[in-house]
C-alpha cells in the first residue's frame, strides 16, 4: 500500500504532466499563428529569465559565482538547441509524436554517462535502451512512405536534452540547481536574441498573451514537479511524468483531430516502458527541467529548484 507522500507526489507529477502538455498545445497554436520559431524561443527564454529575477534580487550578484563557466555554457547551448528542435517539431507534426520523441532523453542519458562520466550501464539498462529504440523506430516508421525529417528533429531534441542532463549531473554536487537554471535562462536568452536580427516578427498582443500564458503553464508545471520530488524519490514517482504523452495525444485529438496509428501507439508504449525502466535503474526524473524538453537529475542528494 503506497504511503500518503508517494500518492501526493504522484498526483503532483500528473498535474505537472498536464500543464506541460497544455503548454505544448499552446505552442502549437502560436506556431500556427505564423510567429516564427526564433521569436517563440526568444520570448519563452525571456519570460523564464524574468521569473528568476526575484531570486537574483534576494540573493545578490555573489549567488552567481561559479567555477564551472564552461559547463554552464555547454548545458545552455545543448538545452537551447533542444528547445529549438522541440518547438519546431511541435508546430510541424502530431503533438503526441513530438512529445514521445522528445521524451527519449532518458534512453540517451546512460550512453552519454557511460562515455563521459564513466557510469556503469547494467544489462537491464541495455535492455531498456534497446526496447526504447525499437519504440523509436516504430514511431518514425522508416521505409513506409511515412518517414518525415521533422520526426528526426523531434528525436534530436531528446538527444540534446540528454547532453544537458549529463552536463547537469557533472555539476550537480557543486552547483545549486537555482544557479544552474539561472545561467541556462540568461545564456539562452542572449543566444536566442541573435537570430531575431534577421528573423524578427513583431508579435501581436494576442501572441504575446499566449506566450505569457505558456510561461504561466511552464512555471506551474515546474512548481508541481518540484514539489512532487520533494515528497517522494524520483525512481518511485518519476514514471508518472509519461502521462504527458497521453495528455498530448488527447489535446491533439480534441483540437486537431490527430489520431495516432497502430505503429505510433506501439512505439509510444515501448518508449514509455523503456523510459520507466531507465528511470528506475538510474533514478533520473523524466520531467523536463523546463519546457524545452530538458531533463534533470532528481536524485535525493540534489537541491530542488
Report whether pLDDT(223) > 90: no
Interval 63-86 mean pLDDT = 90
Q: Provide the pLDDT confidence category of residue 234 given band limits of 50, 70 and 90.
A: low
Interval 6-26 mean pLDDT = 88
Mean of pLDDT over the chain: 80
Q: Provide the pLDDT confidence category of residue 283 given band limits of 50, 70 and 90.
A: low
Please report the pLDDT score of residue 81 as a whole number.
95
Cell digits of residue 117: 562520466
Please report the pLDDT score of residue 142 as a whole number.
62
DSSP code of residue 304: P
What one-character-per-residue DSSP string does 176-238 give? -HHHHHHHHHHHHHHHHHTTHHHH--PPPHHHHHHHHHHHHHHHHHHHHHHHHHHHS-HHHHG
CA distance linking residue 126 with residue 120, whole number of Å: 10
Cell digits of residue 14: 500528473
Closest of 211, 235, 226 to residue 288, by C-alpha: 226
CB distance 217 to 22 below 8 Å: yes
Torsion over CA: 171, 177, 183, 189 (sign): positive
CA distance linking residue 15 with residue 10, whole number of Å: 9
Please report the pLDDT score of residue 266 as a whole number.
86
Domain positions in the chain are 4-297
Closest of 295, 44, 92, 302 to residue 188, by C-alpha: 44
Q: Which residues contact 31 (CB under 8 A, 6 or more apart)?
A: 37, 40, 87, 90, 91, 92
Q: Which residues contact 287 (CB under 8 A, 6 or more apart)?
A: 13, 16, 17, 20, 221, 225, 229, 238, 241, 295, 296, 298
Please report the pLDDT score of residue 282 as a whole number.
61
Global confidence as pTM: 0.80
Least confident span in 188-197, 233-242, 253-262: 233-242
Least confident span in 84-93, 241-250, 291-300: 291-300
Interval 109-116 mean pLDDT = 80
Q: For 139-190, how does the pLDDT look when each residue is reduced to its tens digit (9 = 90+)?
A: 877 654 446 788 889 999 989 988 887 887 788 677 877 788 788 888 999 9
Provide the CB-side half-sphere exposure for 26 (13 A, CA).
22
Amino acid at each position: 500500500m503506497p504511503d500518503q507522500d508517494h500518492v501526493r507526489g504522484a498526483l503532483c507529477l500528473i498535474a505537472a504532466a498536464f500543464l506541460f502538455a497544455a503548454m505544448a498545445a499552446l505552442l502549437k497554436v502560436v506556431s500556427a499563428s505564423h510567429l516564427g520559431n526564433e521569436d517563440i524561443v526568444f520570448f519563452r527564454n525571456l519570460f523564464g529569465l524574468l521569473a528568476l529575477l526575484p531570486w537574483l534580487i534576494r540573493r545578490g550578484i555573489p549567488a552567481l559565482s561559479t567555477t564551472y563557466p564552461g559547463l554552464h555554457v555547454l548545458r545552455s547551448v545543448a538545452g537551447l538547441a533542444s528547445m529549438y528542435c522541440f518547438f519546431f517539431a511541435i508546430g510541424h507534426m502530431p503533438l503526441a509524436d513530438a512529445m514521445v520523441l522528445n521524451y527519449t532523453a532518458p534512453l540517451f542519458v546512460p550512453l552519454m554517462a557511460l562515455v563521459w562520466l564513466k557510469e556503469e550501464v547494467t544489462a537491464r539498462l541495455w535492455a531498456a535502451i534497446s526496447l526504447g529504440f525499437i519504440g523509436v523506430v516504430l514511431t518514425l516508421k522508416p521505409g513506409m512512405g511515412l518517414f518525415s525529417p521533422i520526426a528526426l528533429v523531434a528525436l534530436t531534441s531528446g538527444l540534446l536534452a540528454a547532453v544537458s542532463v549529463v552536463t547537469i549531473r557533472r555539476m550537480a554536487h557543486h552547483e545549486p540547481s537555482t544557479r544552474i537554471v539561472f545561467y541556462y535562462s540568461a545564456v539562452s536568452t542572449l543566444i536566442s536574441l541573435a537570430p531575431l536580427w534577421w528573423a524578427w516578427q513583431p508579435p501581436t498582443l494576442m501572441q504575446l498573451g499566449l506566450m505569457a500564458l505558456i510561461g504561466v503553464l511552464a512555471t506551474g508545471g515546474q512548481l508541481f514537479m518540484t514539489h512532487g520530488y520533494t515528497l517522494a524519490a524520483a525512481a518511485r514517482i518519476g514514471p508518472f511524468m509519461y502521462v504527458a504523452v497521453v495528455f498530448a495525444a488527447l489535446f491533439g485529438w480534441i483540437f486537431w483531430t490527430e489520431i495516432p496509428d497502430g505503429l505510433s501507439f506501439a512505439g509510444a508504449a515501448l518508449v514509455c516502458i523503456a523510459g520507466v525502466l531507465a528511470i528506475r535503474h538510474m533514478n533520473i526524473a523524466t520531467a523536463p527541467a523546463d519546457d524545452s524538453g530538458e531533463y534533470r537529475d532528481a536524485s535525493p542528494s540534489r537541491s530542488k529548484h
